[in-house]
Amino acid sequence: MPFAIKDTVEVMHSHIAKQGYITQHQVGEFTAPPIAELSAAVWPDSVGIPETTLNSLVEIHTVTVRIMIDWLKFKDADREYRIMEAQSRFLTDLVTDFQLGGNIRAVDFAGMYGAPVSVDWGRIDIGTPPKIYRVVDIRIPLIVDSTDTLAP
């Protein structure tokens, strides 16, 4: 079915889980402060069809993976180095994992069909009272083969 991004989000969540170094992860943004040193959330961002073939669609499913670390738990440089290492390791694992699963054909790292993989840094507050987190948001466009066949 075209635009079935749920499967793509589940594949990406499974990819995060099998890596093992991010111990708390979920689908959807955190609404309560996570307790793990490193945590991650994945959610859908966008869906598009940049190309059709003679009998099928090629889709781009873009997901966001947010890696988080407690702002106050570590000293400034230590916190930054820890989250930089996690971001680098995650993207390295993604580059070398040629079997993501499902209908995912490839990660569109260079942006052949639009925007490339991108990484944005920031901070967010979660909970009441708010707890501060350093975050890195990774937008990942995935080239997906649609399971639908176009009518003749």
C-alpha of 107 from chain center: 11
Answer with the residue of higher pLDDT: 150 or 132.
132
Mean pLDDT across the stretch 112-128?
Answer: 95
Report the candidate in 84, 109, 83, 82 with the shortest Cα–Cα distance to residue 95. 109
For 74, the token pair is 């570590």
Provide the whole-model pTM. Answer: 0.91
Q: In this predicted structure, what is the pLDDT of residue 100?
A: 79
Mean pLDDT across the stretch 32-38?
Answer: 93
Quick one: which H or E segment has residue 137?
Answer: strand 131-149
- Assess contact for 23 and 37: CB atoms under 8 A: yes
- Assess contact for 51 and 144: CB atoms under 8 A: no
